[in-house]
Amino acid sequence: MKNHTVHHAATAGAVLFAGLFAVTAPVHAADLTPQEKALVPLAMKEGSVTIINPLFSDETANKLGPAFIKYYGLGNDFKFNNLRKGTGQVVAQVRQEIQAGRFTVDVILVSAPGFFDEAAKRGAFEKLDSGHWKNHIDLAKQAGQYSSYPHVVVPLAYTFQPVWNSSCPGMENFKAESYADVVQPSLKGKTIASDITKSFTYTNTELSLMEAGVDTNTMWNKLKATEPIVEFRTEPKMQMVISCQRPLDMWNLSGRVYQNVLKKPELAKILKIGSYKEGQVMLGNQAAVIKGSPHPNAGKLLLEFLLSKTGTDVVVVGEAVNSFLKGYQPPEVAKPYLLDLSKHKLLGLKDWVGAQKQFKPVRDAWLERFK
C-alpha cells in the first residue's frame, strides 16, 4: 500500500461494523473450542473482565465488549471494561500491581516484550490453554514477533507509517516512500518527532531500523533540522496532521486515519498513508492474563475471543491493525488501511527482550537532539 488515498470507506466501515456486530450472534456450542466451552461457565460466574491496553478506542471497546458477551452468550449482566492508557502507563500499572499483589485488571495487551518476558519469568501470568493460538503462531514467528506460550500470546500487531495531509500548504505533491522523504529540508515546520522516551514501540521501531542498517543518527539530525514538534500519543499527532498544525507525521497508525475518517468522511480525500521501502517494523502486541487477577477465566476467554476470527474482525475493523491468524482475510472496509504484508519488507528484532537493554543509550541520544 503506497500513497494510497483512502476513499469513502467510512460509511461502509460504519455499516460493516454494525454488520459485524449483528453477525456476532451467540455461536452454537459445537463451534466453540473445548477450551472455550470449559471457560464460558467459569467466566459467567466471574461476571466481569477488565483489559488494560494502549490501543482500543472507545468506539472499538463499545463494539468489542458486546460482541464478546454475545459470542459466548455471557448474559446481559456481564461487564466488559476497557482501560486505555499510554504504553508506558499500561506496563507501569500492571507492574506495580504485580509488585503490590493487588490486582484490578485481568488482561494486559501491549507491545512490550521485555516486560512480558521478565514478568513471565517471575510467574506473574496465568498459564493459558488456548484453542486458537495454534492458528497464529506460525505467522507470528515468521514476522519475528515475541511470544511465550503458554503465558504470552500475540493477537495483533501494528506498524508505524507516514501519514500526511495533502490539503495543507506545500503538501499537495508530497509522497513518502522512504525515510529520506520524511526528513527533507523543505518540510521545515511541518514535521512531528515521536517522543521515543515515552514509548516502548517507538524505541523498538528505532532499534529495528538500526538493526536493518538504517542510519538513524543522520535521520534524526535531518528531522531535527525541520524543527519538529515533539509529541507522544498517536491521537494528538493525528490532530496536528488534520489541522495542518503539523501536516506530516512520520510514525502514526493507519487506524487513526480510519477513525477520523469515520468522524468526517471528507478527510478520506486529503489524508494519505505511505510506507517505507527500508522496511516496516511490525510491532506485535503481546497479551497475557495476570495471575491473581479478579477474573482470570473471563480473562482467558477474552484472549480466546481476540485470537478467534470473529474477535479479530472486530479489532481489525475498529483499529485497522494486522493479525497473524493463518489464512485471515480482513474485511474489505479495513483493507485500504492495512499493509499488504506480502508486498512489503517487514522488520523485527532478533532479540526483542535483549533490546530493552539498549533503550537507555538510544533514548539518551534522542533526548540529546530533541529536548
Partner 1 sequence: MRTGAALGTPRAAPAEGRWRSLITQESVTTVLASLVIAVVVLLPLATMVVSSFRVLDGFGFSAHWGMDNYRAMVNDRIIAKAFLNTLIISTGSTLLATVLGVSLAWINARTNCPWREKLEPYNLVPFFLSPFVGAIAWHDLASPKIGLLNAWARDYLGVQGHLLNVDNIYGIIWVTGIFFTPLVYLFVVGSLRRMDPSLEDSARTTGAGLLRTTLTVTLPLVLPGILSGAIIVFVTSAGEFGVPFKLGTPYGWETLTTQIFSKAVGDDANYFMGAAMSMSLGVITAFLVWVQQRIIAPREFTTVTGKGFRPNVIDLGKWKWLALGYNLAFVLFAVVIPLLGLLIVSLHPVWQGRIIPADLTLQNYARVLFWWQGNHIQAATNGIGNSIILAFAGATIAMALAIPVSYMIHRTKGYGSRMLDFLCVVPIGFPGIVLAMGVLITYIKTPIYATLWILLLGYITRFFPYGQRNISSIMLAISEELDQSSRMAGASWFTTLKRVTLPLLKPGIFAGWVLLFIIFLRELPISIILYSSGTETLSVGVYYLSNFENEPLTAALSIVQTVILLVCIVVFRRLAGREALTA
**Contacting residues toward partner 1, per CB under 8 A:** 50, 52, 57-59, 61-62, 81-84, 86-89, 91-93, 95-102, 104-105, 114-115, 118-119, 122, 197-200, 203, 229-231, 233, 235-236, 238-239, 242-246, 260, 263-264, 267, 356-357, 367, 370-371
Question: Of 105 and 321, which CB lies nearer to partner 1 in the complex structure?
Answer: 105
- State in angstroms the smallest separation of the CB of 134 from partner 1: 30
Question: Of 58 and 340, which CB lies nearer to partner 1 in the complex structure?
Answer: 58
- State in angstroms the smallest separation of the CB of 270 from partner 1: 10
Question: Of 197 and 226, which CB lies nearer to partner 1 in the complex structure?
Answer: 197
- State in angstroms the smallest separation of the CB of 118 from partner 1: 4
Question: Of 62 and 166, which CB lies nearer to partner 1 in the complex structure?
Answer: 62
Here the cell at position 340 is 499488504
- State in angstroms the smallest separation of the CB of 62 from partner 1: 6
Instruction: Report yes or no: 168 and 272 within 8 Å, Cβ to Cβ.
Output: no
Here the cell at position 305 is 475471543
- State in angstroms the smallest separation of the CB of 252 from partner 1: 14
Question: Of 104 and 184, which CB lies nearer to partner 1 in the complex structure?
Answer: 104
Question: Of 197 and 275, which CB lies nearer to partner 1 in the complex structure?
Answer: 197
Question: Of 12 and 14, which CB lies nearer to partner 1 in the complex structure?
Answer: 14
- State in angstroms the smallest separation of the CB of 367 from partner 1: 6
Burial 167-177 (b: 16+ CB within 10 A, else e): ebeebeebebe
- State in angstroms the smallest separation of the CB of 163 from partner 1: 14
DSSP 293-351: -S-HHHHHHHHHHHHSHHHHHHHHHHH--B---TT----GGGGGGS--GGGS-EE--S-
Instruction: Report yes or no: 128 and 303 within 8 Å, Cβ to Cβ.
Output: yes
Determine the 3-state secondary structure of 176 from DSSP.
Answer: coil
Cis, bond preceding 54 (omega within 30 deg of 0): no
Question: Is the sign of the CA dihedral 301, 34, 134, 147 positive or negative?
Answer: positive
Question: Of 259 and 275, which CB lies nearer to partner 1 in the complex structure?
Answer: 259
Question: Of 118 and 211, which CB lies nearer to partner 1 in the complex structure?
Answer: 118
Q: How far apart are CA 278 and CA 105, in angstroms?
A: 38
- State in angstroms the smallest separation of the CB of 68 from partner 1: 15
- State in angstroms the smallest separation of the CB of 198 from partner 1: 5
HEC readout, 254-273: HHHHHHHHHHCCCHHHHEEE
| C-alpha triplet 191, 192, 195: angle, nearest 5° | 155
Task: Note the helical H segments in the chain.
Answer: 10-23, 34-46, 58-72, 87-100, 113-121, 137-142, 179-182, 200-211, 216-225, 234-242, 254-263, 267-270, 296-307, 309-319, 352-355, 359-370
Here the cell at position 234 is 498517536
Here the cell at position 84 is 486505555
